[in-house]
Structure 1
């Protein structure tokens, strides 16, 4: 899938910010020819989550799709593309569900903008649903890897045995409707990351209004001692929870992406501040673009460890306040 002689611009979660994406591509030296954004020597590599939340989801999808079809980009699947497919796909008999992703108020809230923006474009909607099956769940290029949320070799290797290029089909998607199934584990881990239940039945309500009983965790911490050592999400844990020691069984259950592994690029995690490596072999490129943060890229050439000077970003502009 990848030309080793080519350089890549890896781009974080777009979430319908099509105009911001055009500004970033322009800053990266891409220009529009024949209706497609192109670079004479480089290729874009999108980390998923093109859909949901933002103001121009359909435009963003057309932009990315057209680049991919023209050989100017690759795009992997994010959890929001999976959510869209699951929303539109009937669950298999015996699963106890009507759809792979049930039509609950919580799920409807997440997909609302996407559904609304495609209401007048049913043909486009069907075409993009088909195209989402062309998005691999991961890319392993040898010296670097790309996945939306978390690289778990224990799941990726058996998945690769079933789908060598990481592109799944409707049968595998439907299998995810069964809790605990291999398909369910794959989508949860690769597209949503690792998490841990909050202690003592606690719940947290995040800034986006969702109440959760779990918190997102790091999958690279080598010697964590407390909950605070492993939390990886925009919403901080309460101090008394952050100071809670991890039990030995909790430590044993943590995933570890080691420091000697190939460079790994993820999105998904709503970071803030100045874009920088998490570790010399790990970068998150999601800096909350749709929440007026930054749309971030990393300019990858032939290096095997991340260069802090190669992050490029544009600030997302807020709409002008009414006068």
Structure 2
């Protein structure tokens, strides 16, 4: 079947971070009207766009990659790189394009579930790593933009002038392994967003047990004054830091995506609760599916003002993601 071009389709179905919840992904695609034809999920009039972070944490990572990659290679979908794919590239792919074992304990911990599910299938894993390198860092269309974590125009515009298709190469990846390079700053910004350090001696203990000395911030506040105006993560700041005023140095580190810009779709931020829109032109579609949250999609038809009525999701709240393979998924679908 001929690949569908973005300009020819009726609309996009943008899908947030899957993180190996492959069974839920198949269920969501079917709810959205995609049907499997010759091993590929397709829609007769629409394209799926995946927002990255396909791997790590979940029980069906190989299924997730198989479904998404077949769709992308058949022209039935697009995908952008997430921070977990970028992390795997930095720590598991060498300069010759060969798969290597992660050397640092932290890397081994983050990639543990993915590597465990590919144990004995190293050739398959190496092939997927090479495919990750083909994922664009962003997608830019006449009516919308797509990036995993943060659209930073000042960094992305010179990058896109050099890499018009948004895809990096081995040279870029090698440079991105060194702190402070343009390549490292760009890859970190678009896949991980902006992080601000906490005051010296302060830390946040996340619900997953990790201790963090920075916090994630969003990029749409018009004139932020305090930490509480920009924090965007499920782990709350210590109460006394919510009202802490931003310094001028901290304000200069922030990025702003204006209300007049074209609609932007992101993932990454582990939102919770009933899916909603942070602004009229930004949709965050990561609702912590692998943590018994929701796998969320947005049905975009080219409209300038986004609407929560177009969010569609599956709830995994009654299914432990570690035993997803043993339990039926209870579906909950938002309004089309």
Could you list the structure 1 runs, at least 4 aligned residues long, displaced by more than 3 angstroms after superposition: 99-102, 319-322
| Aligned twin of 1:148 | 148
> 2:62 aligned to 58, 63, 69, which one?
58
Is residue 100–residue 176 contact of structure 1 (8 Å, CA) maintained in 2? no
Is residue 227–residue 242 contact of structure 2 (8 Å, CA) maintained in 1? yes
| Aligned twin of 1:29 | 33
Q: Deviations over 1:203-233 (max 9, x none)?
A: 2121122211110011111111111111111
Alpha-carbon separation, structure 2, partners of 1:101 and 1:282: 37
| Aligned twin of 2:90 | 86
**What is the CA distance between 1:251 and its match in structure 2?**
2.1
Alignment gaps of 5+ in structure 2: 327-336
Comparing 196-205 and 308-317, the one that deviates more: 196-205
Alignment gaps of 5+ in structure 1: 93-98
**What is the CA distance between 1:87 and its match in structure 2?**
1.3
Alpha-carbon separation, structure 1, partners of 2:100 and 2:169: 13
**What is the CA distance between 1:4 and its match in structure 2?**
5.1
Q: Deviations over 1:100-134 (max 9, x none)?
A: 99622222111001111111212211211111111
> 2:43 aligned to 39, 43, 52, which one?
39
Alpha-carbon separation, structure 1, partners of 2:10 and 2:141: 12
State the number of aligned residues.
316
Residue pairs, 1:1-323, within 5 angstroms: 2-3=6-7, 5-90=9-94, 103-316=103-316, 317-319=318-320
Alpha-carbon separation, structure 2, partners of 1:260 and 1:232: 21
Taking only aligned residues, the RMSD between alpha carbons, in angstroms, comes to 2.0
TM-score normalised to structure 1 length: 0.93
Q: Deviations over 1:15-49 (max 9, x none)?
A: 00000001101111111111111111111000000
Alpha-carbon separation, structure 2, partners of 1:101 and 1:186: 25
TM-score normalised to structure 2 length: 0.90
